[in-house]
Amino acid sequence: MNARGLLVVGLLAVIGSGASIAWQHYCAPRIAAAEQDQKARAWLAVLPEASYDNQPLQRPVALPDPDLPHSRIQAGYLATLHGQPSAVLLLSRFPGYAGPVDLLIAIDRDGRVIASRVLQQQETPGLGARIAEPGNTWLQGFNGHGQGNTAQSAWALKRDNGQFDQLAGASITSRAVIHAIQDALRYFDQHAPQWLQEAPAHE
């Protein structure tokens, strides 16, 4: 290839590289927005639509001493309705059977579980991993429970003389979830006076 041919190839390579970089810069904001939208949908799925009118993920709460007996609180956010606190979202990470599990727990202002959802897990397919499967209702068994209406001794599997059913074939995962939810409820009760102070009417 002669010098002119090499120059043409070089120019084409530069143009192609520049176009690729420009396209990446053009797409980056859209990709970031799509990722944020996906995160918001996953997180807010645990809150009834009528229970909030703010943007909860824009209202982080302080998380002092997040290392708990069986878990660690990774993040927390405040939901409000008509300017008043209505719920807190807590992201709990705890050791499961095969690795860390990220469990999102929505707690109402009275300290009761609204709903919970697994965001990430490495449990055994067909066993512990079923906690994250669409349509699995096992986590719903904790809805409505709080420290105030459920005895301390009840926070265990029925086979351990507690109140809660076991996810079939996954006793270790089931116990870990129970411990993590109880950790989160205790943490909520401890910090609720700070979190549930009257929110501003306009955010």
pLDDT tens column, 55-82: 999 999 999 999 999 999 999 999 999 9
Higher pLDDT among residues 124 and 152, named by residue: 152
Question: What's the mean pLDDT in 101-119?
Answer: 96
52 pLDDT above the threshold of 70: yes
CA 18 to chain centroid, in Å, comes to 39
Residues 6 or more apart whose CB falls under 8 angstroms from that of 70 comprise 94, 176, 179, 180, 182, 183
99 pLDDT above the threshold of 80: yes
For tokens 């109140």, the residue is: 163
Amino acid symbol at 6:
L
Per-residue pLDDT at 203: 47
CA angle 180, 106, 116 (to 5 degrees): 60
Within a domain: residue 63?
Answer: yes
Per-residue pLDDT at 184: 98
Tell me: do 115 and 155 sit in the same domain.
yes
DSSP 136: -
Within a domain: residue 203?
Answer: no
CB 59 within 8 A of CB 85: no
Taking all residues of the chain, what is their mean pLDDT, rounded to a whole number? 87
The rounded distance, in Å, linking the Cα atoms of 93 and 100 is: 6
Per-residue pLDDT at 42: 82
Per-residue pLDDT at 127: 81
Within a domain: residue 51?
Answer: no
Per-residue pLDDT at 63: 97
CA 148 to chain centroid, in Å, comes to 24
Higher pLDDT among residues 149 and 198, named by residue: 149
Q: How many domains does the chain have?
A: 2
In this structure, the dihedral spanned by the alpha carbons of residues 180, 182, 183 and 184, taken in order and rounded to 10 degrees, is 90
Q: Which two tokens stand for residue 196?
A: 């549930």
Q: In which element (H, E) is residue 185 found?
A: helix 171-195
> What pLDDT digit, counting tens, does each position of 9-41 carry?
666 666 767 666 776 776 566 665 555 666 778
CB 101 within 8 A of CB 176: yes
Domain that holds residue 98: 56-198
Tell me: do 66 and 30 sit in the same domain.
no
Within a domain: residue 171?
Answer: yes
Q: Which two tokens stand for residue 45?
A: 């799925």
> What pLDDT digit, counting tens, does each position of 129-139 carry?
888 888 889 99
Question: What's the mean pLDDT in 150-179?
Answer: 94
Residues 6 or more apart whose CB falls under 8 angstroms from that of 174 comprise 138, 157, 164, 166, 167
Residue count (the chain): 203
173 pLDDT above the threshold of 90: yes
Within a domain: residue 152?
Answer: yes
